[in-house]
């Protein structure tokens, strides 16, 4: 008579317990260990037709785990790429998309070139230097003179936004002469820039406008939150009355 139940030794059961620290590393942990085991089993299937069927089934399971991404363009392409990545590129199946390679996956993007100019007068910013370089390339005339005056006024405005004090036009002209490499010379000019008081008033108005916009948005959010709270309390009272 066959025995239906075989009593196991407690020490043997404890000895065969599996811990995550002892298990193989998950390549994409978001899909879980069960899906990783399915892919490992599909990789070991010898029959090509059966292996392809298993791969398509696994793709369906992966898609069901992310139903909110089914309408995303190239979603199926992404699933097939992840399938090959999770198989450590050992799965030999027919894919409707180009099969990725380990070399392409390990490629690093090129380093972005940031404008690390480290200017001497940082409060003017890089844009002023770009404008000065453009003005240096223009031919002499009324257009260039007008552009140089605009640049000088903007330099004075930027100077006062960081150094909230008075500044003479001669200082701005000296900085302009230095930044332009001596090509834009207003040191002997009789040009007068915008009055310091007007620029300070403009900077203050702009800062107050920004702060008032932030405060108004904050107040609007508070009103919305209060309105939602009142609506919830009203609904709660109605429910209690109906009960």
**pLDDT tens string 174-197:** 998 888 888 888 888 777 888 877
Query: Of the ranges 117-126, 143-152, 228-237, which one carries the lowest mean pLDDT score?
Result: 228-237
Q: What percent of the chain has pLDDT over 70?
A: 72
pLDDT at 208 over 70: no
pLDDT of residue 181: 87
pLDDT at 228 over 60: no
Claim to verify: residue 32 and residue 100 sit in the same structural domain: yes
pLDDT of residue 35: 93
Can you say whether the dihedral through the CA atoms of 152, 155, 161, 163 is positive or negative? negative
Point out the domain boundary residue: 105, 138, 162: 105
* 106-135 core/surface letters (b: 16 or more CB in 10 A; e: else): eeeeeeeeeeeeeeeeeebeeebbebbeeb
Chain-centroid distance of CA 162 in Å reads 29
pLDDT of residue 1: 46
Per-residue model confidence as pLDDT tens digits over 45-90: 999 999 999 999 999 999 888 887 776 778 889 999 999 999 999 9
Residue with the bigger pLDDT between 149 and 117: it is 149
State how far the Cα of 42 lies from the Cα of 140, in Å rounded to an integer.
Answer: 75
Residue with the bigger pLDDT between 116 and 229: it is 116
Structural domain boundaries enclosing 57:
26-105
pLDDT of residue 36: 92
Is 208 inside a domain boundary? no
Domain count, the chain: 2
Claim to verify: residue 130 and residue 83 sit in the same structural domain: no
State the average pLDDT over residues 11-39. 81
Q: What's the Cα-to-Cα distance from 122 to each of 88, 159, 168, 179, rounded to whole Å?
A: 50, 10, 19, 12
Point out the domain boundary residue: 39, 70, 105: 105
């Amino acid at each position: 008579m066959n025995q239906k139940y075989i009593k196991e030794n407690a020490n043997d059961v404890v000895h065969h317990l599996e811990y995550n620290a002892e298990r193989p590393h998950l390549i994409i942990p978001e899909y879980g260990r069960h899906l990783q085991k399915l892919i490992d089993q599909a990789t070991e299937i010898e029959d090509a037709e059966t292996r392809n069927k298993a791969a398509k089934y696994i793709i369906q399971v992966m898609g069901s785990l992310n139903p909110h991404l089914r309408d995303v363009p190239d979603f199926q392409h992404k699933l097939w790429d992840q399938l090959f990545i999770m198989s450590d590129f050992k799965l030999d199946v027919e894919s409707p998309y180009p099969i990725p390679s380990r070399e392409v996956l390990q490629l690093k993007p090129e380093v972005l070139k940031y404008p690390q100019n480290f200017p001497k007068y940082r409060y003017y910013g890089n844009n002023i230097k770009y404008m000065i370089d453009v003005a240096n390339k223009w031919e002499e005339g009324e257009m260039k003179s007008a552009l140089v005056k605009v640049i000088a006024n903007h330099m004075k405005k930027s100077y006062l936004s960081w150094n909230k004090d008075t500044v003479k036009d001669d200082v701005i002209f000296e900085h302009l002469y230095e930044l332009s490499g001596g090509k834009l010379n207003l040191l002997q000019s009789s040009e007068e820039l915008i009055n310091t008081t007007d620029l300070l008033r403009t900077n203050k108005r702009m800062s107050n406008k920004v702060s008032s916009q932030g405060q108004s948005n904050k107040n609007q959010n508070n009103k919305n939150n209060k309105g939602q709270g009142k609506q919830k309390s009203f609904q709660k009272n109605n429910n209690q009355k109906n009960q």
